[in-house]
């Protein structure tokens, strides 16, 4: 009991409580930034160093690191400095990770121009010269269905190769012939 009263008078109990509250507020900000993405865009600094995720990570690590240091008997000023270092490192890590995740999401999109030379399977017969059928193929683990036209009739179940794109959803194809079939 005497230690608690001494900690109250020398400020470490108060400082530890403040650091704990900062850490809890950081966790709440992180939860809001993940669970309610887009709701707080007015307060969000975008994908930069002042995004809600980055600020939340900084506050969480700063608060809990400083709180733990004060609890371990480290003087309040040094605890705040160690908390700030941990917060900056954690904030930078959160910023880097979210930026990397957003960049990865946009790099795997399938476009018809990237499909030229790919093989697919006819799922709806293609009438030669004047109509469209349908082909299906898998690219980046994603099933893609496209309207397809050809200069000759191609029955359902035939493997085809995409020779060029006509639009964002249609392609021109030819029957696929493997190297073994050409001999």
Domains in the chain: how many in total? 2
Q: What angle do CA 85, 87, 90 make, to 5 degrees?
A: 110
Please tell me whether residue 30 adopts helix, strand or coil conformation.
Answer: helix
Residues 81 and 21 in one domain: yes
Tens digit of pLDDT at every position of the chain (183 positions): 455 445 544 556 677 788 888 999 999 988 877 776 655 555 555 556 677 888 889 999 999 999 888 888 888 889 999 999 999 999 898 888 877 776 655 444 556 667 888 899 999 999 987 789 999 998 877 788 898 999 999 999 999 999 988 888 889 999 988 766 554
What domain range includes position 87?
2-107
Counting every residue written for the chain, the total comes to: 183
Residue 142 and residue 101 in one domain: no
User: CATH no. for residue 131?
Assistant: 2.40.50.140
How many Å apart are CA 69 and CA 51, to the nearest integer?
A: 27
Same domain, 69 and 22: yes
With H, G, I as helix, E, B as strand and everything else as coil, classify residue 49. Answer: coil
- How far is residue 103's CA from residue 54's CA, in Å, rounded to a whole number? 17
In this structure, are 64 and 117 located in the same domain?
no
pTM of the model as a whole = 0.51
Residues 45 and 88 in one domain: yes
Whether residue 102 sits in one domain with residue 44: yes
Residues 64, 86 share a domain: yes
- Same-domain status, 89 and 157: no
Give the CA radius of gyration of the chain.
30
Position of tokens 């966790």?
Answer: 27
Buried b (16+ CB within 10 A) or exposed e, 115-146: beebebebeeebeeeeeebbbebeeeeeebeb
Note whether 49 and 86 are same-domain residues. Answer: yes
Give yes or no: residues 90 and 129 share one domain: no
Q: Could you give the residue ranges of the DSSP H alpha helices within the chain?
A: 2-10, 12-35, 52-71, 76-107
Question: Is the same domain home to 7 and 97?
Answer: yes
Instruction: Find where tokens 């309207």 sit.
Output: 147
Domain boundary among 107, 130, 156: 107
CA distance 33 to 23: 15
């Amino acid at each position: 009991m005497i230690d608690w009263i001494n900690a109250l008078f020398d400020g470490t109990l108060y400082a530890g409580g403040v650091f704990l509250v900062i850490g809890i507020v950081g966790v709440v900000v992180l939860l809001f930034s993940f669970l309610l993405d887009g709701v707080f865009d007015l307060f969000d600094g975008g994908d930069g160093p002042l995004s809600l995720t980055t600020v939340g990570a900084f506050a969480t690590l700063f608060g809990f690191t400083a709180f733990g240091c004060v609890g371990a008997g480290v003087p309040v000023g040094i605890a705040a400095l160690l908390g700030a270092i941990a917060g900056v490192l954690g904030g930078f890590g959160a910023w880097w990770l979210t930026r990397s995740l957003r960049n990865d999401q946009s790099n795997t999109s399938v476009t018809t121009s990237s499909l030229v030379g790919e093989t697919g399977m006819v799922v709806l017969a293609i009438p030669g010269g004047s109509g469209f059928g349908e082909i299906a193929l898998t690219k980046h683990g994603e099933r893609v269905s496209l309207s397809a036209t050809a200069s000759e009739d191609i029955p359902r179940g035939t493997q085809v190769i995409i020779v060029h794109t006509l639009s964002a959803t249609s392609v021109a194809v030819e029957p696929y012939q493997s190297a073994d079939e050409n001999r």
